[in-house]
A and B are shown apart, each in its own frame.
Chain A
Amino acid sequence: MGIALQPYTEDRTPAVVAFNERLAQGGCPPEFRFPESPTPHWLPKSDGLPLFQEYYLATENDFVRGGFILKHQTFALRGQTHRVVYYHLPLSEGIINRAYATTGALMLRGALKMQPMLFALGMGGFGNPLPTMLKAMGWNLSAVPFYFRVNHPARFLRNIAALRSSFSSIVLSNIAAVTGTGWGGIKAAQWMRSVNSVRDIATEPMNTFGVWADELWETCAPLYAMIGSRESSVLNCLYPPGKNFLAIKVLRCSQTVGWAVLLDTQMLNNKYFGDLRVGTLVDCLAVPENAPAVIQAACDFLTRRGVDLIICNHSQAAWGNAFRSSGFFSGPSNFIFAASKLLAQQLDPIIDWQNEIFFMRGDGDGPVNL
């Protein structure tokens, strides 16, 4: 009997545990482990909510040889509502045993057969095996741009230079390109953000998203080529109270113009950020004209908390412009968006659609590693 795909059921848990043990013994890093319970801790299936995860296994008799996760979510595509599915954490025994080199392709084809409107996100860079396979299958791949703003130049330069990684080299050279030196570049950006400051902005911390968020979603959804549902029911599920997320509502002249979900993380020996205190703009929403207001409100909020650096991944071009005019630099991005052929076909009528889709770190599997 060959390998078959099937939903993860409770009786398969011991075989998943054994699969993970083989991956560990084969030298795979700890993040290469499949969940050892068929019920997702994050986004389990619940009545009425179109946002949930499902686990699938590639089984060979009593053995598990691979697995993947499908996250179901509603998206607005060119203003129309569609169910689009996120393919993630594909793990195959082929990583450690060449006899199972066929399993990765089997899982990908199987997932695509189940859900033709599929996308992948993150993946660590174009050169990794999954994006290479997706490209070979005719998927459309693009990097989600990375932006960063420096609040404490001396601490930032000391930490980032000490890393001596390819990431830090590119970051430093991008800053130097502005004025010729790292310090000068950061100072120039700080001047730029004071010049472009938006007036009459107020910020309200909040715990839950209400009807106002639904109204904002209705206004924003048709303005972006592709955007995951940001209705209040979805947001309260993604960013529940009691977690370490910081949610703010942004008002301008007493009118709600947007919201942002933020993280404030003290890094320790992080391979990208050393020991910096990093603020992350995880997720946000506003009409494109109000992007500068939301970015400024988020940055002010994080700056008051004392972060050294503020980072964000954002795919949409108007938001990218707003980040740059708010004193952000562009950095190297290994956060890749990949659209299946059918999904890309839905977007193709839009010119330059890769710059008009709306993806952030809150999409996909959420703000992991932050």
Chain B
Amino acid sequence: MSSPLIDRVRGITADVLEVPLTQVTPDSSPETLETWDSVHHLNLVLALEQEFSMQFEPEEIDQLGNVGKIVEVIGRKQNVAS
């Protein structure tokens, strides 16, 4: 059984950005996490796409500005798909 969406997103974010899971909260963003630069943002997008078997549109990539928003966008896409 899969873990709640927020926990999966936090786990992927921590892995990609190489920070402890405890540092990743819904408010975590490029402005709060030192390693979240443009290259790591792309890596995060790719990791999320693989994990959730989806592809983000260019305009959605801009909406992934913090962990909470990532959860929102993924949730919305999953609802549309189902």
Output the nearest chain A residue to B56 by Cβ-Cβ distance.
Answer: A109
B46 proximal to A (CB < 8 A): yes
B interface with A by C-beta (< 8 Å): 29-31, 36-43, 45-46, 56-59, 61-65
Output the nearest chain B residue to A95 by Cβ-Cβ distance.
Answer: B38
Inter-subunit contact B58/A109 (CB<8 Å): yes
A133 proximal to B (CB < 8 A): yes
How far, in whole Å, are A83 and B79 apart by their CA atoms in the complex?
A: 38
B45 contacts across to A, CB distance below 8 A: 105, 109
How far, in whole Å, are A98 and B28 apart by their CA atoms in the complex?
A: 12
A129 proximal to B (CB < 8 A): yes
Interface string of A1-25 (1 = CB under 8 A from B): 0111100000000000000000000
Inter-subunit contact A137/B42 (CB<8 Å): yes
How far, in whole Å, are A99 and B31 apart by their CA atoms in the complex?
A: 6
Chief secondary structure at chain B's binding surface: helix
Output the nearest chain B residue to A104 by Cβ-Cβ distance.
Answer: B38
How far, in whole Å, are A107 and B61 apart by their CA atoms in the complex?
A: 9
How far, in whole Å, are A98 and B66 apart by their CA atoms in the complex?
A: 12
Inter-subunit contact A99/B30 (CB<8 Å): yes
29 interchain pairs, CB-CB under 8 A: A3-B62, A5-B58, A5-B59, A94-B37, A98-B30, A98-B31, A98-B36, A99-B65, A100-B30, A101-B30, A101-B36, A101-B40, A101-B41, A102-B38, A102-B64, A103-B38, A104-B39, A104-B42, A105-B38, A105-B61, A106-B62, A107-B58, A109-B45, A133-B38, A133-B39, A133-B42, A136-B39, A136-B43, A137-B42
How far, in whole Å, are A42 and B56 apart by their CA atoms in the complex?
A: 34
Q: How many residues of A contact B (CB 8 A)?
A: 26
How far, in whole Å, are A110 and B42 apart by their CA atoms in the complex?
A: 13
Output the nearest chain B residue to A90 by Cβ-Cβ distance.
Answer: B38
Output the nearest chain B residue to A133 by Cβ-Cβ distance.
Answer: B42
Output the nearest chain A residue to B32 by Cβ-Cβ distance.
Answer: A98
How far, in whole Å, are A18 and B37 apart by their CA atoms in the complex?
A: 23
Inter-subunit contact A106/B61 (CB<8 Å): yes
How far, in whole Å, are A107 and B42 apart by their CA atoms in the complex?
A: 11
How far, in whole Å, are A104 and B40 apart by their CA atoms in the complex?
A: 11
| A106, A113, A129, most chain B CB atoms within 10 A | A106
How far, in whole Å, are A129 and B29 apart by their CA atoms in the complex?
A: 19
Q: Apart from A98-B36, A101-B41, what are 11 other A-B pairs with CB-CB below 8 Å? A: A92-B38, A98-B31, A100-B30, A101-B37, A103-B62, A105-B38, A109-B56, A109-B58, A109-B61, A132-B39, A133-B42
How far, in whole Å, are A208 and B41 apart by their CA atoms in the complex?
A: 47
Inter-subunit contact A2/B43 (CB<8 Å): no
How far, in whole Å, are A3 and B57 apart by their CA atoms in the complex?
A: 12
Which residues, 122 to 167 on A, are CB-close (under 8 Å) to B?
Answer: 129, 132-133, 136-137
Knowing A133-B39, A137-B46, the reply to whether A102 touches B56 (Cβ < 8 A) is no
B61 contacts across to A, CB distance below 8 A: 102, 105-106, 109
B58 contacts across to A, CB distance below 8 A: 5, 106-107, 109-110, 113
How far, in whole Å, are A62 and B43 apart by their CA atoms in the complex?
A: 29
How far, in whole Å, are A218 and B56 apart by their CA atoms in the complex?
A: 42
Inter-subunit contact B38/A101 (CB<8 Å): yes
Interface string of A76-87 (1 = CB under 8 A from B): 000000000000
A107 contacts across to B, CB distance below 8 A: 58
Knowing A105-B45, A133-B42, A137-B42, the reply to whether A98 touches B37 (Cβ < 8 A) is yes
Inter-subunit contact A129/B62 (CB<8 Å): no
**In the complex, the 7 A-B pairs of residues with the closest C-beta atoms, listed nearest first:** A101-B30, A104-B38, A110-B58, A105-B42, A98-B30, A3-B62, A109-B58
Inter-subunit contact A102/B46 (CB<8 Å): no
| A4, A5, A94, A102, most chain B CB atoms within 10 A | A102
A108 proximal to B (CB < 8 A): yes
Contact of B59 among A95, A104, A106, A108 (CB under 8 A): A106
